[in-house]
Amino acid sequence: MAVQVRSRISAFTVLKVLFLLAAVVATLYPLLYMLSISISDTTQVLLGKVGLIPKGVNLSMYRFVLRDQRIFTSYRNTIFYVLVGTALSLVVTAAAAFSLSKRRVVFHRFFTILVVVTMFFGGGMIPTYLTIRGLGMIDTIWAVLLPSAVSTYNLLVMRTFFDGFPKEIEESGQLDGLNDVGILTRLVLPSSQAVLASIGLFYAVSRWNAYFDPFLYLNTPDLFPLQIILRDILQAGQTNVVGGGDTLMVEESLRYTAVIVSILPIIVVYPFLQKYFVKGVMLGAVKG
């Protein structure tokens, strides 16, 4: 009897470890494959000889990609959109979330409904496009920065967090003569760094990855973010082999190198910031 129980448990253990290892391999395989192609000799890639193990390692593709003017400009644009956009989103979201967490404010219910309704109904692509056009924002940086400035979900998560801020501290701030703006900036925000980090990271990632708004609203290549250029590169013909100086230019190597270059910042910082992302989800789960 005892033997039977033990063997059943170990079979279960083996199964679960295999299952999880399979998940890990399935997740990593495509990424490692792209990395391997991107650092391999292009002739070997062309011959189809490169798999997970790179062959004839060289970084010529990276030199080529980083010298490409389009990639350089769009990379710079993306960094600008991420920095300015995330700062803007955080300021607007934090201010509004603090205000919405005070139930005593006039029109509190009205403003809350105003915000929540947009989670379930919107104007859709065409009316939104015409609105942006009507506001004169087509082909300007504002069309990238403003229409996605506030995420309702993030706003509600932050409001829930501010709800839990100790009332006594706010009251003592009032006694010290702080107005509501002072209470927010001097007392509440300094002790909310974790939630600001979480929400800020979510905003930053979605700005880094944004494709739809720039795709719809921008025409001038000088304003394009990285994702637009990346799409062009990824979509380019599958069979072209172009002579690029001394090295053979294989589209595949070029595509995967561009992908690696574009995800590198996220991959590098992600393991260190993961806990903030997870915390963000947990905060959201509290109230749902």
Partner 1 sequence: MTAASAHGVPGGPAHPLLRRIRKDRYLLLLLLPCVAFYVLFRYLPIWGILISFKDYKPFVGFSGSPWVGLKHYRNFFSVPEAWPLVRNTFLLGLYSILWSFPTPILFALVLNEVRDVRFKKTVQTITYMPHFLSMVIVTGMVISFLSPVRGPLNGLLKSLGRPEINFFADPKYFRTIYIASGVWQDTGWGAIIYLAALSGINPELYESAVIDGANKMRQIVSITLPMLIPTITMLLLLRVGNVLDVGFEKVYLLQNPVIYETADVLSTYVYRQGIRGAQYSFASAIGTFNSVVSLVILLLANFASRRLGETSLW
**Listed ranges 1-9, 54-62, 67-75, 162-170: which one lies at the site for partner 1 (CB under 8 A):** 1-9
Binding-site member from 6, 9, 191, 241 for partner 1 (CB under 8 A)? 9
Residue 256 beta carbon to partner 1: minimum distance, rounded to whole angstroms? 8
Question: For residues 243-272, which are near partner 1 according to CB under 8 A?
Answer: 252, 255-256, 259, 262-263, 266-267, 270-271
**Listed ranges 61-69, 148-156, 162-170, 190-198: which one lies at the site for partner 1 (CB under 8 A):** 148-156
Give 79 or 205: the residue with its C-beta nearer to partner 1.
205
Tell me, by CB under 8 A, how many residues bind partner 1: 89
Residue 59 beta carbon to partner 1: minimum distance, rounded to whole angstroms? 21
| Residue 66 and residue 38 in contact, taking contact as beta carbons nearer than 8 Å | no
| Residue 112 and residue 260 in contact, taking contact as beta carbons nearer than 8 Å | no
Tokens of 135: 């506001």
Backbone angles phi, psi at 243, to 5 degrees: -75, 115
Task: Please tell me whether residue 223 adopts helix, strand or coil conformation.
Answer: helix
- Comparing CA positions, the residue from 240, 253, 247, 245 lying closest to residue 40 is 253
Q: Give the DSSP per-residue string, 234-269.
A: HHS-SS-EEEETTEEEEHHHHHHHHHHHHHHHHHHH
| CA quadruple 128, 131, 132, 133: dihedral sign | positive
Tokens of 220: 């001038």
Question: For residues 156-185, which are near partner 1 according to CB under 8 A?
Answer: 179-181, 184
Binding-site member from 79, 84, 149, 196 for partner 1 (CB under 8 A)? 149
Residue 179 beta carbon to partner 1: minimum distance, rounded to whole angstroms? 5
Question: Would you put residue 175 in left (φ > 0), alpha (ψ -120 to 50) or beta?
Answer: alpha
Backbone angles phi, psi at 249, to 5 degrees: -95, 105
Give 146 or 247: the residue with its C-beta nearer to partner 1.
146
Is residue 56 a contact point for partner 1 (CB under 8 A)? no
Question: For residues 19-38, which are near partner 1 according to CB under 8 A?
Answer: 19-20, 23-24, 26-28, 30, 33-34
Site string for partner 1, 92-131 (x = CB under 8 A): xx-xx-xxx-x-xxx----x--xx--x-xxxxxxxxxxxx
Question: For residues 190-249, which are near partner 1 according to CB under 8 A?
Answer: 205, 208-212, 216, 227, 230-231, 234-235, 238-239
Task: Please tell me whether residue 116 adopts helix, strand or coil conformation.
Answer: helix
